[in-house]
Structure 1
Amino acid sequence: MIGTLIEGKYRILRQLGAGAMGAVYQAEHTGTGRRVALKVITGELGNRQDIIDRFWREARAAGRIDTQHITQVLDSGVDRDRNLPYLVMELLSGEDFLGFVKKTGPIAPEVALRLIAQACLGLRKAHDAGVVHRDIKPANLFLARRDAGEIIVKILDFGIAKVVMDQAQETETAGLTKTGSLLGSPLYMSPEQALGSKHIDHRSDLWSLGISLYQALSGRTPFDHITAMGQLVVEINYGRLAPVQERAPWVPPEVAAIVDRALQRKPSERFQSATEMLDAITPLLPQGWTLTESMLVPVPEALRTRVAPRLMVSSSPSLPEVPVPTFLPQDQQAPQASPHPGQTTGAMARSQATPPRTSPARTLLAVGAAALVTAGVVAGGYLAVRRSLDLAGAMRAQAWVADTIKAALPAPSPSPAPVPEPKAPAIPAEPPTRTVQLRIVPAHASVEVDGKLVPSKNGIVELSGELGSIRRVRVFIAPRYSTEKSVVVTAEGPMPETVVMPFSPVGGTPQAGSGTAQTPRSERRKFE
């Protein structure tokens, strides 16, 4: 191809890259002398007229999207001499994000958010134009260099991704290997893509963008240890998705909350638009989302040694709205009933319950187990999920803690019966109370405890109550953001220790007299 002329106007200068779909070349327009990137479609797809027609329609759709965060499509056609479909795009200087992260490893959370925020800007324009990319991944997020060292994130390969997905859905007789090669990016597929659903919308792009953010923060994808395509499909839909803080403990909980929201298996529980995802990121970037080359460095060693507070949410996003496949491994024996309220049968299949010990040290173990139950930790198998604490679960946990501690206490040693003496009636002892400090994220949010507004100092709220009592805590930034948690007062502190408010808008505006405090006008402007 080097030195040849495409359609009589584009001279091929050198090859820039190649893949299963074809190759990309640097070319020069013979009339204007402009350097461009020219992609040719080869192989089986290049011989199918319906695929070529769809490719052109998608290329024209991408060309209509007016944003600097999507690669400009300049021309498309078929070289008549070679019957070769081609696409002409702007020539970029830089590298794709996949190549960068493979060299440097994870990057600082703020830099990762700046990169994803720019990608959200591009996806917002595409989705508004009715175009779903369907192949978002770090390899398609290009770090384009501009003057003065500025980096612009550009989304590549609009037009090809939809063609690939359409053909994969229509090829009913194709095996997993063939389908996997067509999809091209199985590690970034949404659950609905992995199952071959015909109802894939823009929220699939947001899942893939969430996986890309996960990789930017931790240096790897959640399922990169899976090598078989069939197993990968099962894991994406039903396996445990390790929280990003498990692999990158330095990631702040407010950043982990964005990843967690993007990676919900049910599309209805993810961000509902690129705008909504961008709105969640914006408050965490008070200096904006501008990127420079000086920022693109590995995570500093000083940051790697930190352990940020853990995000107290589901460690495995909710199961998708599809039935469990029959080939999913099943337990051979029915699990015994769990003595721990809230624990799933999948967890008990791994570990049978044992009677309580009579040792006094069991008291400490019981309290530790109660903390795990209160936090809603659940583990086990493909169907393991981790649920947030709700009021009913907390009440069951409270009762279980009381019964366990009572049973664990050693029986009093026998002693001689004392000589009866007349005594005044005993005054009942008041139940022990405790004041604990609950951490609030973000620190400036307003807080209500049991429906009453309480002061917060540097993100710390004091809760008082009897040991085992439950307080309902609401964290909000009126009128758009709000979350509620049930917090148990324990001897070791509050459970959970931190309440994080995910930045996802809630509908409606607080009504007068509802006990909701209004954020000052300056704060509202900052977060809007």
Structure 2
Amino acid sequence: MIGTLIEGKYQILRQLGAGAMGAVYQAEHTGTGRRVALKVITGDLGNRQEIIDRFWREARAAGRIDTQHITQVLDSGVDRDRNLPYLVMELLSGEDLQGFLKQTGPVTPDLALRIIAQACLGLQKAHEAGVVHRDIKPANMFLARRDAGERMVKLLDFGIAKVVMEQAQGTESAGLTKTGSMLGSPLYMSPEQALGSKQIDHRSDLWSLGVALYQALAGRTPFDHITGIGELIVEIIYGHVTPVQHFAPWVPPEVASVVHRAVQRKPEERFQSAAEMLAAIQRLLPQGWGITEDLLVPLPDVIRARVEPRLPAPSSPSLPDVPVPTFLPQHPQADLAAPHPGHTGGAMARSHATPPHASPPKALMAIGAATLITAGVLAGGYVATRRSVEPAGAARAQAWVAASLKAALAAPAPSAAPAPTTPAPSTPPAPSTPVRTVQLEIIPREASVEVDDKPAHASDGVVEITGTPGSKHRVRVFMHKYSTATEVVITEAGPPKPARVVLSFSSAGGRSQRGDGATPGQTTSRTGGSRIFE
């Protein structure tokens, strides 16, 4: 294509990039001399009429989106000499987010939020025009250079977008829907997109945007440890998204809550619009979401060394109502070594300074026992309803309630200590031993768990273990007739070792296997993978 003339007016100068559906070239308009980006369909796809029809519908839809955060479509047509459909777009200067993160690794929460906020502005306009992108990822988020050292995020490549406008729905056949159902980048696919569902809507883009934010904060996606495409699809649909603070403990809980909300497996529990996601981010960016060149730096070591309070497990899918924080540095020259003032007080800080509760009297214990029994009945009913094909869920809930009730009834009643007749000599307090609570992932999520020979409650496949750094805990995972036991060590910082326990089971042929596909005794560096138990 280099040196050829398209439609008698666009001179091809050089190739800028290529993908599964086409190639992009830098071209020059022979009449005006303007440099543009010209995209064509390549390979066998150019001979398929349904792909060409979709290409034109999406080109018209992208051209109608009126926002500076989406690459402008300037022209389109078919080169008559080659019968080659083409799109002409504005030529951008800069780099995509994927290339930038590959060089820098994770970035500051402030910069990550600014990038995603601008992407939300572009998606909001696209969704209002009835266009679902379906391939949101860092490689399609371009940090375009502007005047005065500014950068602007522009969304690229609507090549596999799904047009959901009424006029498009009337012409799109089942074959076209099937063609586009699994197109996209698997690491950033929403669960419904990985399933190939026909009911994909704009909330699928918000999942993908949440994964991109996860990557900007942690330097990796939640699924980087998975190497097989089939295993990845199963993990996206049925697995557990590891909290971003697990890999990036420096991320403040307010920022982690935005990520957590975006990557909820059920679309109705995510942000319901790009505008809603933008509003949540906007509260964390009181200085706005503009991006300048001096913000495009790797994560400073003083921020990487921080360990922020962990985001508590939410009781509802809604975001916590937090005030506008001041924890985000607004400029690289800010005092990065200073502690976050937003974490020196308030509910988050008070939660780490709450004194231990006194032992309750027996009357209160009886009330608590009755409450536990009632909660156990409700929990057991919920688990049995949700996992009707898997009775182990209800059994685990009942075992947990029984163990909690037994521990409560066995607690000794408090006794009044005699008042001392003489003041006791003051002695310096003994140094306190640090205690950590870590999260251990269980595969499959439906399995029952024991920690130190006591039933443990697993919330969505995650068990919390509390102990001092270096302490060892026996963890047993069991389901039906299968059982796996291992020793878990609490570390000084970060996740426990190992960070995941996978249940071993027997295949149809009698060979013992694990939930991640390895045989018992086999050493593997992979921590991902899950298997669906029927």
Q: TM-score range by the shorter chain?
A: 0.5 to 0.7
- Correspondence 1:69 to 2:129: no
Q: Is the 2:12–2:28 Cα contact (8 Å) retained in structure 1?
A: yes
CA deviation vs aligned residue, 1:349-401 (integer Å, no higher than 9, x gap): xxxxxx99x9x9xxxxxxx9xx97xx9x785213369xxxxxxx99xxxxxxx
Distance 1:196 1:19 in 2: 21
Distance 2:260 2:253 in 1: 10
- How many angstroms does 1:64 deviate by? 1.1
Is the alpha carbon distance of 1:342 and 1:155 closer, same or farther for their aligned partners in structure 2, counting shifts above 3 Å? farther
Q: Is the 2:245–2:256 Cα contact (8 Å) retained in structure 1?
A: yes
In the TM superposition, 1:261-272 aligns within 5 A as 261-272=261-272
Distance 1:6 1:119 in 2: 32
Q: Which residue of 2 aligns with 1:286?
A: 286
Is the alpha carbon distance of 1:150 and 1:52 closer, same or farther for their aligned partners in structure 2, counting shifts above 3 Å? same
Q: Which residue of 2 aligns with 1:21?
A: 21
**Residue identity in the other structure for 1:380:** I
Q: Which residue of 1 aligns with 2:188?
A: 188
Is the alpha carbon distance of 1:33 and 1:141 closer, same or farther for their aligned partners in structure 2, counting shifts above 3 Å? same
Q: Which residue of 2 aligns with 1:252?
A: 252
**Residue identity in the other structure for 1:296:** L
Distance 1:78 1:315 in 2: 55
CA deviation vs aligned residue, 1:29-81 (integer Å, no higher than 9, x gap): 11111100001101122112222122111111111111110000011111111
- How many angstroms does 1:106 deviate by? 0.4
SS at match of 1:160: coil
SS at match of 2:400: coil
SS at match of 2:15: strand
- 387, 395, 400: which one aligns with 1:340: 400
CA deviation vs aligned residue, 1:310-348 (integer Å, no higher than 9, x gap): 000259999xxxx99x9xxx99999777643499xxxxx
Distance 1:44 1:240 in 2: 38
Q: Which residue of 1 aligns with 2:222?
A: 222
Distance 2:17 2:201 in 1: 30
Q: Which residue of 1 aligns with 2:443?
A: 381
SS at match of 1:231: helix
Q: Which residue of 2 aligns with 1:233?
A: 233
Distance 1:378 1:187 in 2: 23
- How many angstroms does 1:304 deviate by? 0.4
Distance 1:218 1:170 in 2: 39
Q: Is the 1:9–1:30 Cα contact (8 Å) retained in structure 2?
A: yes
- How many angstroms does 1:112 deviate by? 0.3
Distance 2:446 2:261 in 1: 18
Q: Is the 2:96–2:141 Cα contact (8 Å) retained in structure 1?
A: yes
In the TM superposition, 1:129-140 aligns within 5 A as 129-140=129-140
CA deviation vs aligned residue, 1:409-449 (integer Å, no higher than 9, x gap): xxxxxxxxxxxxxxxxxxxxxxxxxxxxxxxxxxxxxxxxx
Q: Is the 2:270–2:317 Cα contact (8 Å) retained in structure 1?
A: no
In the TM superposition, 1:1-400 aligns within 5 A as 1-162=1-162, 170=175, 183-313=183-313, 339-341=399-401, 379-383=441-445
**Residue identity in the other structure for 2:444:** Y
- How many angstroms does 1:210 deviate by? 0.3
CA deviation vs aligned residue, 1:275-327 (integer Å, no higher than 9, x gap): 00000011110100000111011110000000000000259999xxxx99x9x
Is the alpha carbon distance of 1:300 and 1:342 closer, same or farther for their aligned partners in structure 2, counting shifts above 3 Å? farther
Distance 1:168 1:98 in 2: 34
Greater displacement, 229-238 / 261-270: 229-238
SS at match of 2:257: helix
Which ranges in structure 1 are unaligned for 5 or more consecutive residues?
A: 344-354, 361-367, 386-392, 395-528
Distance 1:215 1:341 in 2: 38
SS at match of 1:17: strand
**Residue identity in the other structure for 1:29:** H
Distance 2:442 2:284 in 1: 34
Q: Is the 1:169–1:196 Cα contact (8 Å) retained in structure 2?
A: no
Distance 1:378 1:16 in 2: 44
- How many angstroms does 1:184 deviate by? 3.6
Q: TM-score, normalised by structure 2?
A: 0.59
Distance 2:185 2:317 in 1: 21
Q: Is the 2:76–2:88 Cα contact (8 Å) retained in structure 1?
A: yes
* RMSD between aligned residues: 3.7
Distance 2:14 2:132 in 1: 31
Q: TM-score, normalised by structure 1?
A: 0.60
Is the alpha carbon distance of 1:293 and 1:158 closer, same or farther for their aligned partners in structure 2, counting shifts above 3 Å? same
Distance 1:189 1:94 in 2: 26
Distance 1:169 1:218 in 2: 39
SS at match of 2:43: coil
SS at match of 1:225: coil
Q: Is the 1:260–1:317 Cα contact (8 Å) retained in structure 2?
A: no
**Residue identity in the other structure for 1:289:** W
Q: Is the 2:218–2:247 Cα contact (8 Å) retained in structure 1?
A: yes
Is the alpha carbon distance of 1:137 and 1:333 closer, same or farther for their aligned partners in structure 2, counting shifts above 3 Å? closer
Distance 2:35 2:443 in 1: 54
CA deviation vs aligned residue, 1:71-114 (integer Å, no higher than 9, x gap): 00011111111111111100000010001101110000010000
**Residue identity in the other structure for 2:244:** V
Distance 1:272 1:333 in 2: 30
SS at match of 2:287: coil
- How many angstroms does 1:172 deviate by? 9.8
Is the alpha carbon distance of 1:22 and 1:37 closer, same or farther for their aligned partners in structure 2, counting shifts above 3 Å? same
Identity %, equivalent residues: 71
**Residue identity in the other structure for 1:201:** D
Q: Which residue of 2 aligns with 1:349?
A: none
Count of aligned pairs between the two proteins: 348
Which ranges in structure 2 are unaligned for 5 or more consecutive residues?
A: 164-168, 319-385, 413-432, 448-455, 458-534
Is the alpha carbon distance of 1:13 and 1:280 closer, same or farther for their aligned partners in structure 2, counting shifts above 3 Å? same
Q: Which residue of 1 aligns with 2:373?
A: none
Q: Is the 2:190–2:208 Cα contact (8 Å) retained in structure 1?
A: yes
Distance 1:206 1:85 in 2: 30
In the TM superposition, 1:399-418 aligns within 5 A as none
Q: Is the 1:138–1:212 Cα contact (8 Å) retained in structure 2?
A: yes
4+ runs of 1 displaced by more than 6 Å? 166-169, 171-174, 315-318, 330-338
SS at match of 2:162: helix
CA deviation vs aligned residue, 1:186-212 (integer Å, no higher than 9, x gap): 000000000000000000000000000
Distance 1:191 1:14 in 2: 38
**Residue identity in the other structure for 1:208:** S
